[in-house]
Amino acid sequence: MKPQKTYHCIRGTRRLATFLSLSLVIHSAQIVVGAVFPAVPDGTITTVQDRDQMLSQLGITFPTLPPKLEDPHAPANSYPSDAANPDGNWTDASNHTVQRTDFGLWNNYSNTDLSLIGQYTPIDLLVMNKDRFNFGYGFHGWHPSRHIKTATEWWTKRRPEIFKAVQAELYGSIPDRSLWPAITWSVSDETTGTDGGVDYTQRVITGTIDTSSFPALRNVPKIKGYLRLPANATGPVPVFVVFSAFGAGYGFGDFNTFFLSGPWASAGPQGYGVCIYDESVLQPDSGGATLSSYLIGLFSKGNWRKPGEWGTLAAWSWGASRLVDYFETTTDVDATKLGIEGHSRYGKAAIVAAAYDQRIQIAWPSSSGSLGAKMDRRHWGQNLENSAWDQEYHWMAGNFYKWMGPLFPGRYMPRRVELMSVDGHSLISLVAPRPVFLSAGTANGAPVGDSWTDPLGIYFAGMGASPVYELLGGKGLIVPDPLDAEDGTPRIDVAYTEGDIAFRHHHEGHTDAPDWPYFVQFAKLYFDDHRPVITTGQSFDLARSHWGTLGSVKATDADAADKLGNWQVTGGDGASIFEIDSKTGIISIEKWWQIDFRKDSYKLWVTVSDGILTSAAREVTITLPDRIRLCRFGRWQWVSKAFVPQMLWSGFVVGDSDSPGWPRFHDDD
């Protein structure tokens, strides 16, 4: 039996919810009164103080909740893990972790009770958000939602909208590139060895970040990678960048070299490299005083974070991107074929990194759960609100507190997550059409299960992102087998890798170890292919167009048997004016009435695919010379640019022919 979808429409609440979103105050909470914080945080600031200072900026505090034993919303059949401490964590007969968040939301493990799962308005990734506009005098309305029907519309309209919302509502924005500090790279002496029968070379890469813009910074941030490559490689090799769960900055010693062996067992025999990325020395996994130091403190110059500024997950992703920068300068790493992996909280970081940086070719957010590749508009296992406490809030921008608490005062459901315009499937869609491998344990309780991460919610997120992959010419998540009749998940211990979104959940619990062989095999399809390359410096002369076509974009592929296609325009100031034929790469004029003939040229960013890999986007120029060739009734003439617009409106067309194939004006344009 197929499970009910868990993000349903709340009838009659979307319009009200939109107006509620204008308020920054959680309705069930009290406004912070009299809270006093130092003007500038110092090294003694605790995580609680820093979290509460952020809540104070937002005008939010936690509601007063009844004792857990008296809470009418406590899940049926749950009970305190420790009878002597009823206000601690709870559990149930399946050994699930049951917590109550600081905003009063209990963890749920029912797939059938919609009053506990939550019913929310679906977020269609191929429909633009409604745009508010003003009539004046205090009146306002809404533009109708616009459906995304082409790849160009995705790249130029919907994806930027989602990316902006992901940053503003959840993870925070990367500071402007002009503010980035210099990084000095150093490399340790190379060592050699054999692991699993595969010889390797190994070195430690350290990027020391310049702190001269804020000399008072207490801790100098660094980017550190432990890189292992096959010793017998004859050229640059693909590399998996793996977030470190035991970084040197966590006080346990340096275990990074030790943890190379796990991924290496699968990657090394395939001729791929592994780089353990120690994010802990860039920005530790903690709040409090560390947020006014290290990388985040460097950019804020030691001040309190503002609600829209980045949290630790985005800061880690920035460090991963700087590793990509470094790899682009080397000769033994193929920087066009980089994967990124992280488990649990680092799984969240992995999908954020891939969403923020399109150079990362493949992503594996293992057991990423809430705030990762899981639907947060589904209350099952870990919830967005679980990260409100002082040990996790630092992952996110402060704005994520806006989506916590009940949507309507005095009601338990629905929650304010209804007002959030993005979700886990939105994050996955930002990676499209690049491949993503989704994984988790089973929905059982600990220690054998991985219920906290909500494997079904991860599956739903993959399915929800699939239409974007299909629009872009790829394949979404494909699960041909019947779903489990009880919990609705795909079969356990089966890797579904037919699409560009893969899924596997295993019976070994909260770990990524069993999935490494399947992930590497999934990546092999992409890593062993040569990416097509679009010839640089291509230019097309508008004056020389023929029947409205300007010419074909040229590209090459080292795999002689590969057939190039799925051409797409991904950006540029001419993206809404010119189009490219997806099969042939021929550029033509789509909307002649939008051409500004005062300009000297337009730019298009173009990609092409060989059916497996998509090329890097390359810039194509369309020039507008001083004289343009126009045609009417089969006769053409050269016309000065200044007179072209009025002649086009009188029936002339650009080019040497006015064939019936010329694109016409449509009412819906």
Check residue 142 and give its pLDDT: 57
Least confident window among 34-43, 258-267, 659-668:
659-668
Contact assessment for residue 341 and residue 244, using Cβ atoms and an 8 Å cutoff: no
Contacts of 627 (CB under 8 A, 6+ apart): 543, 638, 639, 640, 641
Check residue 664 and give its pLDDT: 37
**What percent of the chain has a predicted confidence (pLDDT) above 90?**
82
> Average pLDDT of the chain?
90
Read off the pLDDT of residues 156-186 as tens digits, 9 standing for 90 and up.
Answer: 999 999 999 999 999 999 999 999 999 999 9
Check residue 36 and give its pLDDT: 87
Check residue 141 and give its pLDDT: 55
Check residue 636 and give its pLDDT: 85
Spell out the domains of the chain, with CATH numbers in brackets. Answer: 177-527 (3.40.50.1820), 533-654 (2.60.40.60)
Single-letter residue type at 408 = F
Check residue 663 and give its pLDDT: 41
**What percent of the chain has a predicted confidence (pLDDT) above 70?**
90
DSSP per position, 219-254: S--EEEEEEEEETT-SS-EEEEEEE-SS-GGGTS--
Whole-prediction pTM value?
A: 0.91
Of residues 248 and 321, the one with the higher pLDDT is 321
Looking up tokens 């020039």, which residue turns up? 623
Under DSSP, the state recorded for 490 is P
Contact assessment for residue 501 and residue 444, using Cβ atoms and an 8 Å cutoff: no
Q: Which two tokens stand for residue 495?
A: 């890797």
Q: State the pLDDT confidence band at 447, using cuts at 50, 70 and 90.
A: confident
Read off the pLDDT of residues 126-146 as tens digits, 9 standing for 90 and up.
Answer: 999 875 444 443 444 556 678
Q: State the pLDDT confidence band at 34, using cuts at 50, 70 and 90.
A: low
Q: Which two tokens stand for residue 328?
A: 């682009």
d(CA 531, CA 538): 19
Read off the pLDDT of residues 557-582 as tens digits, 9 standing for 90 and up.
Answer: 999 999 999 999 999 999 999 999 99
Least confident window among 269-273, 432-436, 547-551:
547-551
